[in-house]
């Protein structure tokens, strides 16, 4: 059994495999550990490691720093777990690597393996994909190697953030396909906390909210997106987003959840049935109230259409004024 395991998400940590006790490390040995756990199965040339961690130093000085830091890291591990063996070992005169018999589980490696596993799973195996993606998402507990400012760490951190975001997006997509709008909503909101301008996620979130019976919140989400795009990019939402909003306002989008709002066509059918064979008072009352809500929304749409037409006309007028007379 390995003596240690390592965490790279959040602050780099070395833990005892026996009881999860964190091994105290100074900043420089922590940076070295972070460097090695990024590509844990690879041996590195000493000169390359020294240059990566001490780029400002001359080669001889950087090599001395490396030798000292390797000694400090291995010493900290040996003090914490007796007879554990060194973490970083020489593979040859010039190459060095982690000893994976000493350092076992690494969260970065598991995260990457799970992401690769999901990509190789067939599209039809939705539940299996969700299980794999949920495990990967749980491993991402914070920015990769948080606090390490070396160029190699910043680059790896950016790549990991992009991968973690794509995991959330695929989870949202899977939950939408599984007709689980509640879970889709949760991931949609997490995605927008990271990438607020991702319009496709806003659109999926609108659909999930509507399918979950949260029609007002779905319309509010569109308003938030429109305000955000206007402020940040000075552009309107995409046509397909506006079309989805119109469908939700008119109640013509198909309801995906058991508690979703009834489409407008179904409301009309229910009212007709009530005329022919009166429904229970409570059901008829709810139907009438929902129809009144739709009427109010339709009037709101009309006002907004007029306002947007006025804005567009004003913009066109400004454009025409800016064109030279002889153009």
Angle between helices 199-211 and 215-232 (to 10 degrees): 170
In this predicted model, which residue has the larger pLDDT, 297 or 182? 182
Give the C-alpha distances (Å, rounded to integers) separating 190 from 39, 41, 233, 236. Answer: 28, 32, 22, 23
Band of the pLDDT at 317, cuts 50, 70, 90?
Answer: confident
> In the chain, where are the structural domains located?
4-106, 108-268, 269-327
Q: What is the pLDDT of residue 298?
A: 56
Spelled out in words, what is the top-level CATH class assigned to the domain 4-106?
mainly alpha
Looking at residue 59, its pLDDT comes to 94
Helix orientation angle between 239-250 and 199-211, rounded to the nearest 10 degrees:
10
Least confident of 115-119, 261-265, 305-309: 261-265
Determine the topology of domain 108-268 in CATH: 1.25.40
Tokens 């989805």 locate to: 244
SS3 14: strand
> What's the chain's average pLDDT?
85
């Amino acid at each position: 059994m390995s003596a240690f395991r390592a965490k790279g998400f959040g602050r780099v940590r070395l833990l005892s495999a026996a009881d999860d006790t964190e091994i105290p490390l100074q900043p420089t040995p922590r940076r070295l550990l972070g460097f090695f756990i990024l590509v844990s199965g690879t041996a590195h040339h000493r000169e390359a490691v020294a240059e990566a961690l001490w780029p400002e130093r001359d080669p001889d000085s950087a090599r001395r720093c490396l030798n000292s830091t390797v000694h400090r890291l291995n010493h900290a591990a040996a003090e914490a777990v007796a007879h554990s063996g060194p973490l970083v070992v020489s593979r040859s005169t010039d190459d060095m690597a982690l000893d994976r018999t000493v350092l076992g589980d690494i969260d970065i490696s598991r995260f990457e393996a799970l992401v690769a596993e999901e990509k190789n799973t067939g599209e039809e195996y939705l539940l299996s994909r969700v299980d794999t993606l949920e495990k990967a998402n749980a491993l991402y507990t914070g920015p990769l190697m948080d606090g390490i400012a070396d160029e190699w760490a910043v680059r790896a951190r950016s790549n990991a953030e992009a991968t973690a975001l794509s995991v959330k997006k695929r989870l949202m997509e899977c939950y939408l396909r599984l007709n689980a709008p509640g879970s889709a909503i949760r991931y949609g909101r997490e995605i927008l906390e990271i990438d607020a301008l991702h319009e496709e996620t806003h659109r999926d979130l609108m659909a999930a909210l509507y399918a979950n019976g949260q029609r007002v919140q779905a319309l509010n989400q569109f308003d938030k997106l429109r305000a955000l795009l206007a402020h940040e990019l000075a552009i309107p939402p995409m046509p397909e987003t506006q079309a989805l909003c119109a469908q939700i306002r008119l109640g013509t989008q198909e309801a995906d959840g058991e508690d979703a709002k009834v489409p407008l066509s179904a409301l009309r059918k229910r009212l007709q049935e009530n005329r022919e064979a009166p429904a229970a008072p409570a059901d008829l009352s709810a139907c009438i109230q929902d129809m009144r809500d739709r009427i109010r929304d339709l009037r709101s749409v009309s006002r907004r259409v007029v306002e947007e037409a006025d804005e567009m006309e004003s913009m066109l007028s400004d454009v025409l004024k800016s064109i030279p007379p002889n153009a």
